[in-house]
């Protein structure tokens, strides 16, 4: 058992020293601050609770559950993947480590990270109760109970889902990121209330209101914005014990997920288990010294010219035409975008192009944002690909690394947008007013991807941003996020023009951050 | 063609001093950079390859400061880093074409050069398989090929032979001696036999300092008359080991043969031995100090 404890410990050490963890704690603190500053509000129809410890605890718990369910997943997932890509996994696999022990240890490490976030928010809630409560005083019981009953089970489930996604081969890596995003967006409307505790709080608060003589309170809403005109009522907390019992099924769900992960875990034995991260040649042992080379020249002598015949005779043209070179680089970058995807991916891309050619124009407008979700994984890799694969040292030794390679990478991303949107583009030619939306999407989306990648944000950031913007913008009509103007309202408001204008700004920032990195 | 390193220093974050005041002049030929783990070899090479910046000092390539104008060198530079990666989904030809384009090389000349290089590093048969499926040594050879794409005037190779099998290793050393004609090759290793035969000069580095830079024969000559072998019974070597003079011990049926570097014979039965570069390296790594040149004069 101590061995597994060591795995948890080593994993935690590694994670807590990564920038991502600090960023998340920072983000959690920021979220806590937003709650303290009163940005988030919880209301029940036209009512809200008086700001006392119990209401603040409930508000914090619901906000946190929501946050953990999306961001928390991306925070903790990938530890198994990391072991695989660094080769540490194969070292562990050669020990007596058991599958159960390893997966449970990874789950435990996930959980500890998420519980750290819960702890940060608990402190934030206490601060709010001290500073901003309308009923002064800190009442720890009612403040912490909802965090334990609502947020902790969410943390447990998310930790289990993350380890499950890490262990199931089909859900590893970027595919899993996109699948999780999609699942989250789809299930939230109907399963979210129960999972994240909204339904339970709604029931308890309605009961409180009715017993106080108020009528028909209406649904629970967690939101951002003004709440002064709401009628207040005194909330002393729910019967958290009963609610906790009702949420025990989440523990069962988490257990089942971990069990499934154990079954799916291949102990790093799959065919592609070769470490994909940069080659750590240090780890390999040197081959024994070979016999002397055939004809070593005397030390200090200069190899004679006759030695050179027979190999590397090709005269080298050190600089080809710059335009030809740039074209070759763009082709190379484009190949990097699309090489190695599954057959399913290519087929889907082709289907999207063809569908755009045949569907009615209003359907094509909705289809275009979907088509541009398709390459979200390749795009998310741009900007950070060389660093991730350890090719940056090779590229950095070539002339003008930033000014040659970055524009080529950017252009290849735009070309991919054009390729997958080509069906829609052909149709839009008959509707010139739609072209600005097309241009905005084709330019802005890949530009954002490379800007984030260059800044070192990591692939998940772009993937999640793109998925959420797509879900809220084109699908749910939140105009400011509707980059391509899939809805008329967004088009009329000139949203695409705003995004087009942002492209040069992002590009300048990208070149600046890439230059800063190279010349460090 | 000349590379000048002037009082180069590098301090990493958290105050790790990797290089201290390194000054060195390189002319065409092979410089073997020898030193123990953590000596600062890779740091020095990264700075020479323009992928890292020194904290003090400068590097001049044909008189141009590469800190200010790195592209002057990059056009004529080939660099094989100690740790590098590949794009696993590309095959060797695609990967090399991509890097060739990044170095300003494309079209037919690039294709022919790549074919020739792949032939040269013995990868022609595997050239159209994704690199992700290569063995470690095969990937290393892709790295060697990319360093030679632009026919570099300055070739920097950081532990190039690690992971290569004996045949490929010999092949590589052969290649280095062929290439060394009118270019500068800087090769780092901690395996003495890698550079013994091919190096024009040896630069010994330890603790971020340049201990010696001299022709191998001169380095070896400095030890002449100071290397001894002596045979002890197994378990009887503790005193000698404690004296800190032993550079190598070989177990034999009749006891333990100790190789000792010392001004005087370690014991009456000790026999003088021919010094080797390995002895120089071990003695330097042991003392971390330059070998006294006066010994060379006396000899
Ligand atoms: N990125 C880094 N950040 C901080 N310290 C570093 C970094 N890279 C190297 N060092 C430190 O600088 C010193 C020299 O390292 P370097 O890699 O140059 O040694 P080396 O001679 O190449 O060793 P090896 O033979 O193991 O490759 C070491 O003490 C190392 O810990
Ligand atoms: Mg090194």
Residues A175-187: pLDDT tens digits? 888 889 888 888 8
Is A308 in Cβ contact with B71 (below 8 Å)?
no
Residue A351: predicted pLDDT? 92
Across the range A264-271, mean pLDDT stands at 73
**Residue A431 main-chain phi, psi, to 5 deg:** -130, 80
Point out which residues pair with B201 in neighbouring strands: B31
- B87 to chain A: closest CA residue: A389
Count other Cβ atoms within 10 Å, centred on residue A475: 17
Across the range A163-186, mean pLDDT stands at 87
Nearest to A293 among B84, B151, B173 (CB): B173
Query: B282 and B248 in contact (C-beta within 8 Å)?
Result: yes
Taking the C-alpha atoms of residue A151 and residue A120, their distance in angstroms, rounded to an integer, is: 12
A394: pLDDT strictly greater than 70: yes
**Residue A287's pLDDT band (cuts 50, 70, 90):** very low
Write the DSSP assignment of chain B as a string of letters. --EEEEEEEEE-GGG-EEEEEEEEEE-SEEEEEE--TTSSHHHHHHHHTTSS--SEEEEEETTEETTT-HHHHHTTEEEE-SS----TTSBHHHHHHHHHHHTT--HHHHHHHHHHHHHHTT-GGGTTSBGGGS-HHHHHHHHHHHHTTT--SEEEEESTTTT--HHHHHHHHHHHHHHTTTSEEEEEES-HHHHHTT-SEEEEEETTEEEEEE-HHHHHHTTTT-EEEEEE-TT--HHHHHHT-EEEEEEETTEEEEEEE-SS-SSTT-EE----HHHHHHHHHHH-SPPPHHHHHH-
**pLDDT tens for each residue of B27-73:** 899 999 998 888 999 999 999 999 898 999 999 999 999 988 888 89
> Is B214 or B194 the better-scoring residue by pLDDT?
B214
**Ligand 1, closest atom to CA B16?**
5
Reference A381, options A416, A343, A423, A346; nearest CA is A416
The ligand with the least distance to the CA atom of B40 is: 1
A230: pLDDT strictly greater than 70: yes
Taking the C-alpha atoms of residue B109 and residue A46, their distance in angstroms, rounded to an integer, is: 75
State which H helix or E strand residue A220 sits in.
Answer: strand A220-224
Across the range A106-133, mean pLDDT stands at 87
Across the range A110-132, mean pLDDT stands at 87
Count other Cβ atoms within 10 Å, centred on residue A269: 10
> Is A31 or A294 the better-scoring residue by pLDDT?
A31
Determine whether the shortest distance from the Cβ of B16 to ligand 1 is under 6 A. Answer: yes
Exposed/middle/buried for residue B269 (C-beta within 10 Å: 0-12, 13-18, 19+) = exposed
Determine whether the shortest distance from the Cβ of B35 to ligand 1 is under 6 A. Answer: yes
Distances (CA, A) of A400 to A384, A387, A409, A511, B189: 18, 17, 14, 12, 29
Strands B29-34 and B3-11, by their bridges, are unpaired
A34: pLDDT strictly greater than 80: no
Residue B292: predicted pLDDT? 41
Taking the C-alpha atoms of residue B287 and residue B299, their distance in angstroms, rounded to an integer, is: 21
Nearest to A394 among B132, B146, B162 (CB): B146
Taking the C-alpha atoms of residue A250 and residue A254, their distance in angstroms, rounded to an integer, is: 6
> Is B215 or A296 the better-scoring residue by pLDDT?
B215
Hey, what are B266's tokens?
């370690």
DSSP state of A232: E
> Is B180 or A288 the better-scoring residue by pLDDT?
B180
What ipTM is given for this predicted complex? Answer: 0.83
Domain ranges (residues) in chain A: 2-274, 322-519
A511: pLDDT strictly greater than 70: yes
> Is A308 or A424 the better-scoring residue by pLDDT?
A424
Across the range A58-65, mean pLDDT stands at 90
Residue A305: predicted pLDDT? 37
A276: pLDDT strictly greater than 70: no
Q: Which domains does chain B have, with CATH numbers?
A: 1-76+154-213 (3.40.50.300), 82-151 (no CATH), 220-298 (no CATH)
Residues in chain B: 299
**pLDDT tens for each residue of A197-217:** 888 888 888 888 888 777 766
Across the range A317-342, mean pLDDT stands at 86
Determine whether the shortest distance from the Cβ of B124 to ligand 1 is under 6 A. Answer: no
> Is B196 or B298 the better-scoring residue by pLDDT?
B196
Taking the C-alpha atoms of residue B284 and residue B287, their distance in angstroms, rounded to an integer, is: 5
pLDDT over 90 for what percent of chain A? 31
Is B120 in Cβ contact with A293 (below 8 Å)?
no
Query: A41 and A124 in contact (C-beta within 8 Å)?
Result: no
- Helical segments of A132-247, H only: 140-146, 152-167, 173-195, 198-211, 240-246
Nearest to B101 among A297, A300, A328 (CB): A328
Task: Tell whether A309 is within 8 A of chain B (Cβ).
Answer: no
Half-sphere exposure (Cβ direction) of B55: Cα atoms closer than 13 Å? 13
Taking the C-alpha atoms of residue B165 and residue B145, their distance in angstroms, rounded to an integer, is: 17
**Chain B (228-287) residues lying within 8 Å, Cβ to Cβ, of chain A:** none
Hey, what are B133's tokens?
């499926």
Residue A520: predicted pLDDT? 54
Distances (CA, A) of B225 to B260, B262, B297: 11, 9, 12
pLDDT over 90 for what percent of chain B? 41
Q: How far is B140 from chain A (nearest CA, A)?
A: 9
Is A399 in Cβ contact with B71 (below 8 Å)?
yes
* Sign of the CA dihedral with A424 first, then A426, A429, and A430 last: negative
Identify from A17, A307, A346, A393 which residue to disrupt to test chain B contact, counting B C-beta atoms within 10 A and taking the largest count.
A393
Write the DSSP assignment of B127-151 as a string of letters. TTSBGGGS-HHHHHHHHHHHHTTT-
Is A389 in Cβ contact with B86 (below 8 Å)?
yes
A167 Cβ partners below 8 Å, 6+ apart? A80, A103, A261, A262, A264, A265, A266
Mutate which of B11, B33, B39 for ligand 1? The one with the most ligand atoms within 8 Å of its CB, which is B39
**pLDDT tens for each residue of B204-243:** 998 899 988 999 888 888 888 888 888 887 777 777 777 7
Taking the C-alpha atoms of residue A381 and residue A394, their distance in angstroms, rounded to an integer, is: 18
**pLDDT tens for each residue of A477-490:** 788 888 988 888 88
Residue A273: predicted pLDDT? 42
Taking the C-alpha atoms of residue B167 and residue A419, their distance in angstroms, rounded to an integer, is: 47
How remote is the C-alpha of A500 from its chain's centroid?
A: 24
Residue B161: predicted pLDDT? 87
**pLDDT tens for each residue of A345-375:** 898 899 999 999 999 998 898 899 989 989 9
A308: pLDDT strictly greater than 70: no
For residue A371, the SS3 value is helix
- Helices B92-102 and A401-420 cross at an angle (nearest 10°) of 120
- A389 to chain B: closest CA residue: B85
**pLDDT tens for each residue of B104-158:** 888 888 899 999 999 988 899 999 999 988 998 899 999 999 999 988 999 999 9
> Is A289 or A492 the better-scoring residue by pLDDT?
A492
Across the range B16-29, mean pLDDT stands at 92
Across the range A18-32, mean pLDDT stands at 70
**Residue B163 main-chain phi, psi, to 5 deg:** 90, -10
A498: pLDDT strictly greater than 50: yes
B251: pLDDT strictly greater than 90: no
Across the range A70-92, mean pLDDT stands at 80
Which chain B positions have a beta carbon within 8 Å of A323's beta carbon? none
**pLDDT tens for each residue of B168-187:** 888 888 888 888 878 899 99
Query: B27 and B1 in contact (C-beta within 8 Å)?
Result: yes
Taking the C-alpha atoms of residue B112 and residue B93, their distance in angstroms, rounded to an integer, is: 11
Determine whether the shortest distance from the Cβ of B40 to ligand 1 is under 6 A. Answer: yes
The ligand with the least distance to the CA atom of B43 is: 1
Taking the C-alpha atoms of residue B49 and residue B70, their distance in angstroms, rounded to an integer, is: 9
CA triple B174-B177-B182, angle to 5 deg: 145
Residues in chain A: 520
Query: A246 and A60 in contact (C-beta within 8 Å)?
Result: no
A288: pLDDT strictly greater than 60: no
Residue B293: predicted pLDDT? 37
Q: b/e string for A93-122 if b means 16 or more Cβ within 10 A? A: beeebebebbbbbbbbbbbbbbbbbbebbb
Residue A51: predicted pLDDT? 85
Taking the C-alpha atoms of residue A342 and residue A340, their distance in angstroms, rounded to an integer, is: 7
């Amino acid at each position: 058992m101590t061995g597994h404890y060591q795995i948890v410990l080593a994993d935690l050490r590694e994670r807590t020293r990564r920038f991502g963890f600090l960023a998340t704690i920072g983000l959690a603190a920021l979220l806590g601050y937003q709650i303290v500053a009163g940005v988030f509000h919880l209301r029940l129809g036209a009512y809200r609770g008086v700001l006392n410890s119990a209401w603040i605890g409930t508000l914090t718990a619901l906000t946190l559950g929501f946050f953990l369910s999306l961001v928390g997943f991306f925070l903790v997932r990938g530890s198994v993947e990391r072991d695989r890509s660094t080769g540490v996994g194969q070292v562990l696999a050669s020990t007596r480590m058991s599958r159960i022990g390893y997966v449970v240890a990874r789950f435990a490490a996930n959980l500890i990270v998420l519980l750290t976030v819960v702890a940060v928010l608990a402190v934030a809630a206490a601060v709010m109760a001290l500073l901003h409560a309308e009923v002064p005083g800190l009442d720890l019981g009612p403040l912490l109970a909802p965090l334990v009953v609502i947020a902790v089970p969410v943390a447990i489930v998310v930790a289990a889902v993350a380890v499950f996604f890490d262990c199931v081969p089909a859900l590893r890596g970027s595919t899993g990121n996109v699948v999780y995003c999609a699942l989250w967006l789809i299930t939230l409307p109907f399963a979210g209330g129960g999972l994240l505790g909204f339904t339970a709080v709604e029931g308890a608060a309605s009961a409180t209101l009715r017993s106080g003589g108020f009528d028909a309170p209406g649904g629970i809403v967690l939101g951002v914005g003004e709440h002064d005109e709401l009628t207040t009522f005194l909330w002393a907390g729910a019967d958290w014990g009963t609610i906790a019992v009702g949420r025990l099924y989440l523990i069962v769900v988490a257990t089942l997920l971990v069990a499934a992960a154990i079954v799916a875990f291949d102990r790093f034995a799959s065919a592609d288990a070769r470490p994909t991260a940069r080659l750590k040649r240090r780890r390999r042992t040197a081959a024994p010294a070979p016999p002397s080379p055939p004809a070593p020249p005397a030390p200090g002598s200069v190899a004679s010219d006759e030695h050179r015949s027979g190999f590397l005779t090709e005269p080298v043209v050190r600089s080809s035409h710059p335009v030809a070179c740039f074209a070759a680089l763009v082709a190379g970058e484009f190949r990097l975008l699309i090489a190695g995807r599954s057959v399913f991916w290519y087929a889907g891309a082709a289907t999207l192009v063809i569908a755009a050619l045949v569907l009615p124009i209003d359907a094509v407008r909705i289809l275009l944002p979907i088509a541009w979700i398709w390459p979200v994984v390749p795009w998310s890799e741009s900007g950070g690909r060389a660093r991730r694969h350890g090719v940056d040292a090779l590229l950095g030794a070539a002339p003008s690394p930033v000014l040659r390679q970055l524009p080529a990478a950017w252009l290849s991303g735009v070309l991919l947008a054009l390729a997958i949107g080509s069906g829609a583009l052909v149709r839009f030619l008959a509707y010139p007013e739609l072209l600005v939306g097309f241009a905005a999407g084709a330019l802005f989306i890949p530009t954002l991807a490379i800007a984030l990648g260059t800044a070192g944000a990591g692939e998940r950031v772009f993937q999640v941003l793109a998925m959420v913007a797509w879900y809220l913008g084109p699908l749910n009509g939140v105009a400011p996020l509707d980059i391509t103007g899939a809805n008329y309202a967004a088009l009329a408001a000139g949203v695409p023009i705003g995004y087009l204008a942002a492209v040069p700004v992002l590009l300048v920032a990208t070149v600046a951050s890439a230059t800063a990195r190279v010349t460090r | 063609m000349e590379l000048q390193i002037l009082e180069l220093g590098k301090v990493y974050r958290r105050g790790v001093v990797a290089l201290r005041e390194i000054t060195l002049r390189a002319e065409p030929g092979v410089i073997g950079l020898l030193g123990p783990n953590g000596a600062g070899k890779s740091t020095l090479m990264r700075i020479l390859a323009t992928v890292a910046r020194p904290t003090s000092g400068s590097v001049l390539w044909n008189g141009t400061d590469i800190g200010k104008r790195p592209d002057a060198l990059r056009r004529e530079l080939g660099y094989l880093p100690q740790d590098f990666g590949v794009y696993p989904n590309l095959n060797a030809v695609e990967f090399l074409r991509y890097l060739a384009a990044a170095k300003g090389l494309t079209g037919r000349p690039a294709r022919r050069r790549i074919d020739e290089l792949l032939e040269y590093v013995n990868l022609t048969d595997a050239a159209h398989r994704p690199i992700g499926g290569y063995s470690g040594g095969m990937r290393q050879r892709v790295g060697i090929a990319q360093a030679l794409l632009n026919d570099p005037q300055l070739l920097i190779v950081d532990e190039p032979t690690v992971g290569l099998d004996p045949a490929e290793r010999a092949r590589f050393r052969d290649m280095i001696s062929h290439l060394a004609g009118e270019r500068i090759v800087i090769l780092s290793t901690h395996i003495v036999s890698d550079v013994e035969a091919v190096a024009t000069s040896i630069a010994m580095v330890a603790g971020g300092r340049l201990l010696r830079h001299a022709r191998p024969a001169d380095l070896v000559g400095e030890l002449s008359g100071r290397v001894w072998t002596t045979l002890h019974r197994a378990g009887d070597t503790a005193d000698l080991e404690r004296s800190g003079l032993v550079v190598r011990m070989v177990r034999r049926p009749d006891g333990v043969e100790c190789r000792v570097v010392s001004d005087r014979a370690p014991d009456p039965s000790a026999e003088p031995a021919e010094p080797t570069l390995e002895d120089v390296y071990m003695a330097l790594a042991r003392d971390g100090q330059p070998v006294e040149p006066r010994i060379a004069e006396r000899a």
